[in-house]
Chains A and B, each alone.
Chain A
Amino acid sequence: MRRALWLALVGALAATVAASSHASPALVAWLAASTAFAFAVAAGLEARRLKAPGDLREPRQTSQATAPAELPSDVTRRTVFGRLWMFALGAVAVLGIVPVVALGRRGGRRGPIWNAGLRLVTADGVPLRPTDLSVGAIETVFPQGRVGAPEAATLLLRLEDDVVRAAPERADWTPHGNVAYSKICTHAGCPVAIYRHQDYQLYCPCHQSVFDVLDAARPISGPATRALPQLALDVDGEGYLIARSDFDAPVGPDEWRRTV
């Protein structure tokens, strides 16, 4: 026991020295931990040395009923807090909801993410031409001037010219095989960060939703129930990729308040 306490004493001093001389965290931790273990051993040995009995008996009173509390006999009214008291207190509780409701600041509808004619730029703000990405490449892009804005992250992919199975009204949304979808997953809002060009599938690393790039980013596996919103693309007079309008559907996860 004395030996363990000496060890604790030395360990604590050594840990102090190690920590103040910027030793590695592992060394400091193990010196401090050894101190604690030495104390544990010392306490354990001391407890054993006591040879205290382990079967002492102390009476329980769990099941003994006691007399119910009653109004003192010099109080004449029988009911003190009547029903009206409860109704009045209930009304106060209703009043209590007011400050809670007052906390609500409506998020304010975010304006459109894209506007017609806005250029697609990289995270570094560089605008892109339809041929800047090689076929099979993917890039995270933003509306020019809004790099990093909430929910603005957009995936730009370059596919082979004729592989997209687009509905007729989307036929001209993909100049030179460039196709763009929102990067915000429609399931729980994670970035849909992984793309496999072999099977043209986008994966969300959070909950493993899979979207088909060739078919309007419809969910084909995992928990997502809605396609990633698509961005209709065009090329401006100077040859840079631009948006034709905003996304074709609301960005991000559905919520109760967002009526359909």
Chain B
Amino acid sequence: MMSRRGARFFDERFGSNAAVRFVMTKVFPDHWSFYLGEFALYAFLLLVATGIWLTFVYVATPAGAYASVASLSRADPVGYLMRQVHHWSAVTFVAAILLHMARIFFTAAYRAPRELNWIVGLTMLVVASLTGFTGYSLPDDALAGTGLRITDAVLRSIPFIGGWAADVLNGGGYPGPDLLPHLYTFHVYFLPVTIAVLLTLHLGMVVLQKHTQFVDDPEHVVGRRFWPDYALRTVAALAFSVGVLIALAGTVEINPIERFGPYHDWTVPNPATPDWYAAFLDGALRLGPTWHITVAGHPIPAVFWPGIVMPTVVLAVLYCWPFIDAWLTRDHRLHDVLVPATHAPWRVGVGTAFIAAGFFLTLAASDDQQAVALHVSVAGLVTFYRIAVPVGSVLIGFVAAQIARELRLRRERHGIEAERVVQLRRTAEGGYREEAVTPS
């Protein structure tokens, strides 16, 4: 009764019944891999909830930051869990975005007409990483300060504008008095608001363009009604994500700043590695070329190449990827039906090689620990990774493409592909209509 009366109240004022009916009866294609993006969304919701709580504790000054975060110790279960859930959600957020992106990549969901949504999603990945990094820096512990020191050096390596930008960020040289307040503003305001805006665009585009699907019926969206069927499923996904993140936070301690101690520019914990999503950059810095280049008296420091040029090139390729794909396949048509990964082995190869390169760079960020564990020299591992990043990843991509080709051939040989299952449906006029049914 209440809901009916409420519906009438809003319908009289906004004509909202039509919109509600549109949402309730909207059809969503269903597949386990379509929940990966939802996990990212739910991690973001948990980040906002715990983040707002943390703003009431955190003190954004060089003198007070470390102590304010360190006060959230095990003695205070609520504060401790808020911080732990926040950090676990942050690393999971980036991981879920990447997994979601991998699904989009391997099924070619980014093809026309969805190129712009790929670009929006990729921008969210970048902003999510930046939000993660600024948050990781805020406690001002020894590891955070060291990460900022490295970032400052990388920023200052940029020709012409790098030093200026770093001075603005710091309010002077590193570590400037304004650094933490500036990072805090970025972390709790600019960056999350940007994510919220991009998220709205992202989901708005999905509603307008409708979701892709595996079912080979380009004329229709095939799936489940939003209300209550899909809504219950997504509530289950939300509750599951929240449960996993809270359980992780209470079981596995992440970023124990009490063990690192407060930051001074003359101390550093050993081993020193950043959060996992930033580790590929740290690895690149370890492998980077030792070029000593001077242009008109200005040095171009060695960190410029792995720290600025490499990620810029990678991002440029990723941003252009939907258009590169269309150009490579000479396919500019509009697609709503997904390509099963095995049907395009070349795409599997490219994607796997890309992931492998990132994986090797990430591994390189802990080369010192591997050297101790494997009884080899760090220099030897550096040489290994310098070869593995370009050569090893291409080989792995090649093998992955072969496996995809093999899987496809095997399926075709078993005749599953050839056998087309057709369902006959009786129409209102009394005739029959053929409908394709995907083999399950």
Stretch at the interface among A37-45, A88-96, A113-121, A172-180: A37-45
B152 at the interface (CB under 8 A from A): yes
Is B268's CB under 8 angstroms from A193's CB? yes
Is A62's CB under 8 angstroms from B222's CB? no
Known: A60-B221, A62-B113. A30 touches B272 (CB 8 A): no
Is A255's CB under 8 angstroms from B243's CB? no
Known: A43-B239, A253-B156, A255-B157. A33 touches B250 (CB 8 A): yes
Among B171, B233, B235, which residue has its beta carbon within 8 angstroms of that of A105? B171
Is A57's CB under 8 angstroms from B272's CB? no
Across-interface contacts of B146 in A (CB, < 8 A): 190-191, 206
A222 at the interface (CB under 8 A from B): yes
Is A59's CB under 8 angstroms from B219's CB? yes
Measured in the bound complex, the distance between the Cα atoms of B107 and A144 in whole Å is: 64
Is B77's CB under 8 angstroms from A22's CB? yes
Is A188's CB under 8 angstroms from B268's CB? no
Q: Which positions 139-167 of chain B face chain A at CB distance < 8 Å?
A: 146, 149-150, 152-154, 156-160, 162-164, 166-167
Q: Closest chain A residue to B229 by CB distance? A: A52
Q: Closest chain A residue to B168 by CB distance? A: A103
Measured in the bound complex, the distance between the Cα atoms of B221 and A190 in whole Å is: 55
B267 at the interface (CB under 8 A from A): yes
Q: Closest chain B residue to A107 by CB distance? A: B173
Is B168's CB under 8 angstroms from A253's CB? no
Is A255's CB under 8 angstroms from B163's CB? yes
Interface centre among B166, B269, B298 (most CB of A within 10 A): B298
Among B235, B269, B301, which residue has its beta carbon within 8 angstroms of that of A43? B235
Among A58, A62, A107, which residue has its beta carbon within 8 angstroms of that of B27? A58
Is A205's CB under 8 angstroms from B271's CB? yes
Measured in the bound complex, the distance between the Cα atoms of B382 and A194 in whole Å is: 19
Measured in the bound complex, the distance between the Cα atoms of B150 and A104 in whole Å is: 21
Stretch at the interface among B289-297, B352-360, B410-418: B289-297
Across-interface contacts of A126 in B (CB, < 8 A): none
A215 at the interface (CB under 8 A from B): no
Interface centre among B158, B170, B221, B232 (most CB of A within 10 A): B232
A98 at the interface (CB under 8 A from B): no
Stretch at the interface among A128-136, A145-153, A236-244: A145-153
B220 CB → nearest A CB, Å: 4
B64 at the interface (CB under 8 A from A): no
Q: Closest chain B residue to A142 by CB distance? A: B266
B216 CB → nearest A CB, Å: 13
Measured in the bound complex, the distance between the Cα atoms of B319 and A16 in whole Å is: 46
A106 at the interface (CB under 8 A from B): yes
B247 at the interface (CB under 8 A from A): yes
Is B233's CB under 8 angstroms from A44's CB? yes
Is B159's CB under 8 angstroms from A47's CB? no
B174 at the interface (CB under 8 A from A): yes
Is B382's CB under 8 angstroms from A208's CB? yes
Is B74's CB under 8 angstroms from A148's CB? no
Across-interface contacts of B303 in A (CB, < 8 A): 187-188, 223, 253
Q: Closest chain B residue to A28 by CB distance? A: B77
What are the 4 A-B residue pairs with the smallest beta carbon separation, nearest first? A29-B250, A36-B243, A153-B266, A255-B156
Pairs A–B under 8 Å by Cβ, sample size 27: A25-B81, A27-B250, A28-B77, A30-B251, A33-B250, A36-B243, A37-B240, A39-B239, A40-B237, A43-B239, A46-B232, A55-B215, A57-B27, A58-B221, A59-B219, A60-B219, A62-B113, A104-B164, A105-B167, A105-B168, A105-B172, A191-B268, A205-B268, A208-B367, A208-B368, A253-B303, A256-B156
A residues with a Cβ closer than 8 A to B are 18-19, 22-30, 32-41, 43-44, 46-47, 50, 52-60, 62-63, 103-108, 110, 123, 140, 148, 150-151, 153, 183-184, 187-191, 193-194, 205-208, 219, 221-226, 252-260
Instruction: List 9 additional contacts besides A190-B146, A190-B268; criterion CB under 8 Å.
Output: A29-B250, A36-B246, A47-B236, A140-B266, A148-B264, A206-B285, A208-B382, A225-B291, A256-B163
